[in-house]
Structure 1
Amino acid sequence: MNAEKYTQKALEALEASQAQAVERDHAYIAPEHLFYALLEQEGGLIGSLFGKMNIDTGRLQEAADRVLNAMPRVTGGQVYASRELEKVINFAEKVAARMKDEYLSVEHLMLALFEYPTPALKKLFAEQGLDKEAFMKTLASVRNFRVTNDNPEDTVDALSKYGTDLVERARSGKMDPVIGRDNEIRSLIRILSRKTKNNPVLIGDPGVGKTAIAEGLAQRILKGDVPDGLKEKTIFSLDMGALIAGAKYRGEFEERLKAVLEQIRKSEGRIILFIDELHLIVGAGKTEGSMDAG
């Protein structure tokens, strides 16, 4: 095992597996500990993927906890990795190589758990409706890159992480009605319906209601009150603050932005991207420590 070729999240999961075994007085670290650690990761990819599969992750974590509680307890002695866990890790490395990834990530570990489940995990997967094929299909829908750095989770399902689906917000009733913006919304629809030069820019002082115009369009799309060419579209509002936050180096920001754009490209025209605070990308006069990404 070459730890330098593991992503940060993968190493965290393995460390958390050991911590779980020690905390529960288990003699060895088993695949069950690893599965629980992957589920427990805050903002982790595996829990997010299971959520997209319509799995109740809270219930799943409780079931995984019960599996760990049923394992025999011992006192004293040093915990070690079981043969079953070593087999899972070895297979995860093969999965990473097969996917032409430079680093082993959490999804490789999860795929290995599906391939070599212990009897307890096999039973748990069956009871909770966890299926390897469904997992791979869901993973493919959000993974549009090879793992070439040790923190790839920043770019998985980037649109959901750094943006908001305005049409979905309108559908769930979380958006106030937009009043008095009919002219601007009609202009927006007209520009978006062009074959060329169809990228409108909303200009105005902060607080005048630029975002409200995009929200008004989302509400019209939901009602079907738009031309046929826009009826199947959705609007994602990109949060530039979230996109830039935590990106210590310019390359990190660029990787996130590339992941967003790649997801939009794969939607084959279904997604309209609304970039709030556009000047953070193109603004001039960037100084050290500023929010400007340009």
Structure 2
Amino acid sequence: MNIEKFTIKSQEVITTAQNIALGKQQQQIENAHILKAIFEVDKDIVPYLLKKNNINTSMLAQVVDKMVDNLPKVSGGSGIYLSNASNQALQKALGSLSEFKDDYVSIEHLLLGILSTNDNTAQLLKDNGLTEKGLKQAILELRKGGHANSPHAEESYNALNRYARNLNDLAQKDKLDPVIGREDEIRRVLQILSRRTKNNPILIGEPGVGKTAIAEGLAHRIVSGDVPENLKSKQVFSLDMGALVAGAKYKGEFEERLKSVIKEVTVSDGEVILFIDE
């Protein structure tokens, strides 16, 4: 098994699974160890995939914890190794690369590999309603046409929702403050956005004067339908630079995240308005 064919996060999952088994004095790395490691390493992708299949991630994680605790313990053993089931899962994950036209095994491949086996962990996923067809469909929805073509592939999935705030959603949920006294600026932004070309407004001003409030006011106007017809379907996202930088510890990871955000905005075919704060 070529570990270099795995993404950074997938490698981290394998290492974490090994450490979990060692910490509990268990000689074999089972699929339960790998699934537990996935829950520990990943907080975005697998919860998204499971939610799409109507599975409660936290409850499933608790059952997996108990499964790991109940696995046989060995004292004084000579090393640690993959069980037949976990080896099959990793081989299946590698084998699924061609189907998705990927270059690297990412976390969703690992989940798909576990599901394809016949051990207790795979049965647990199936008993909770996870099917291969449902999982593959959720993966395609998550990726939005993207592929795992870099060691940081997971950072590019669902990028807008991970690294930006959907101001339309916040406005609908009444979580944005009302905007007062900025009608002229909002109207001018609407005029610029309605152009066919040269339609990228720039808001210039000192910090705190209300540039973000104008973007929020725009979202309010779109939600209430008080905008030109060509803007009524638009979604306003505010890029969260803190989230974009947070946890980017590997070389090229920040750039990968930023490129994925730009790609999602581009493929939206003009349906996304991205507000970039200073």
| TM-score class normalised by the smaller sequence | 0.7 to 0.9
Shift of the alpha carbon at 1:3? 1.9
Other-structure match for 1:10: 10
What letter corresponds to residue 36 of structure 1 in structure 2?
A: K
- Look up the match of 1:130: 130
Structure 1 partner of 2:264:
263
Offset of residue 117 of structure 1: 4.1
Provide the C-alpha distance between the structure 2 equivalents of 1:133 and 1:179, rounded to a whole number of angstroms.
50
Look up the match of 1:91: 92
Separation (CA, whole Å) in 2 of partners of 1:42 and 1:86: 21
Tell me the amino acid that sits aligned with residue 146 of structure 2.
Answer: F
Percent identity reads 42
Q: 1:89 to 1:122 in 2, by over 3 A?
A: closer
Residues 1:24 and 2:24 are matched in the alignment: yes
User: SS of the counterpart of 1:185?
Assistant: helix
Residues 1:275 and 2:268 are matched in the alignment: no
How many residues get paired?
A: 275
Superposed CA deviations along residues 74-129 of structure 1, whole A, max 9, x for unmatched, are: 433143211111111111111124433332221211111122241x2243223323
Q: Which moved more, 1:194-203 or 1:211-220?
A: 194-203
Distance 2:17 2:197 in 1: 54
Return the alpha-carbon distance in structure 1 between the equivalents of residues 232 and 44 of structure 2. Answer: 34
Residue equivalent to 2:183:
182
The CA distance in 1 between the partners of 2:245 and 2:210, in whole Å, is 23
Q: Distance in 1 between matches of 2:27 and 2:250?
A: 40
Aligned partners of 1:17 and 1:37 also within 8 Å:
yes
Hey, what does 1:69 align to over in structure 2? Answer: 69
Distance apart, 1:214 and its partner CA:
0.5
> d(CA) in 1 for partners of 2:44 and 2:76?
32
Deviation at 1:54, TM superposition (A): 4.7
Distance of 1:142 and 1:4 partners within structure 2: 24
TM-score (norm 2): 0.88
> Given the alignment of the two structures, is residue 234 of structure 1 paired with residue 238 of structure 2, yes or no?
no
State whether residues 7 and 153 of structure 2, in contact with CA within 8 Å, keep that contact through their aligned partners in structure 1.
yes
Is the contact made by 1:38 and 1:47 (CA closer than 8 Å) also made in structure 2?
Answer: no
Deviation at 1:198, TM superposition (A): 2.0
Aligned-partner residue type, residue 105 of structure 1 = S
Partner of 2:96: helix, strand, or coil?
helix
- For the Cα contact (< 8 Å) 1:31–1:117, is it kept in 2? no
Return the alpha-carbon distance in structure 1 between the equivalents of residues 175 and 184 of structure 2. 24
Secondary structure at 2:198 match in 1: coil
The residue correspondences of 1:109-124 to structure 2 (distance < 5 A) are: 109-118=110-119, 120-124=120-124
Tell me, in whole angstroms, the C-alpha distance in 1 between the residues paired with 2:242 and 2:159. Answer: 14
Secondary structure (helix, strand or coil) at the match of 1:273 reads strand
Contact 2:53/2:129 (8 A) holds in 1 = no
Name the CA distance, whole Å, in 2 between partners of 1:156 and 1:47.
Answer: 13
Runs of 5+ in structure 1 lacking a partner?
278-294
State whether structure 2 residue 60 is matched by structure 1 residue 60. yes
Using the TM superposition, give the Cα deviation of residue 34 of structure 1 relative to its aligned residue in structure 2, in angstroms.
0.9
Partner residue of 1:281? none
Cα distance in 1 between the residues matched to 2:41 and 2:2: 22
Question: Residues 106-163 of structure 1: CA distance to partner in whole angstroms, max 9, x if unpaired?
Answer: 1211111122241x22432233232332322222223243333322222222112221
Distance (whole Å) between structure 2 residues aligned to residue 124 and residue 172 of structure 1 = 36
- What CA distance in whole angstroms lies between the structure 2 residues aligned with 1:109 and 1:157? 18
Alpha carbons of 1:109 and 1:236: their partners in 2 closer, same or farther (altered >3 Å)? same
8 Å Cα contact 1:21/1:27 also seen in 2? yes
Asked whether the 8 Å contact 2:10–2:105 carries over to 1, the reply is: yes
String of CA shifts for 1:204-256, please: whole Å, max 9, x gaps: 1211101100001111222222233222221111123443563775x544432
Amino acid at match of 1:106: I
Q: Are the aligned partners of 2:152 and 2:253 in contact in 1 as well (CA < 8 Å)?
A: no
Structure 2 match to 1:148: 149
Quick one: structure 1 residues 247 and 235, their matched pair in 2 at CA, closer, same or farther if it must change by over 3 Å?
farther
For 1:129 and 1:192, the matched residues in 2 are separated by 45
Q: Spell out the pairing of 1:160-179 with structure 2 (5 A cutoff).
A: 160-179=161-180
- Cα distance 1:212–1:53, how it changes in 2: closer, same or farther (>3 A)? farther
The question of 1:104 aligning with 2:97 is answered no
The one-letter code matched in structure 1 to 2:89 is V
* Secondary structure of 1:274's aligned partner: strand
Corresponding residue number in structure 2 for 1:214: 215
Contact 1:38 1:44 in 2 (8 A): no
The answer to whether structure 1 residue 204 and structure 2 residue 186 are counterparts is no
Aligned letter for 2:186? I
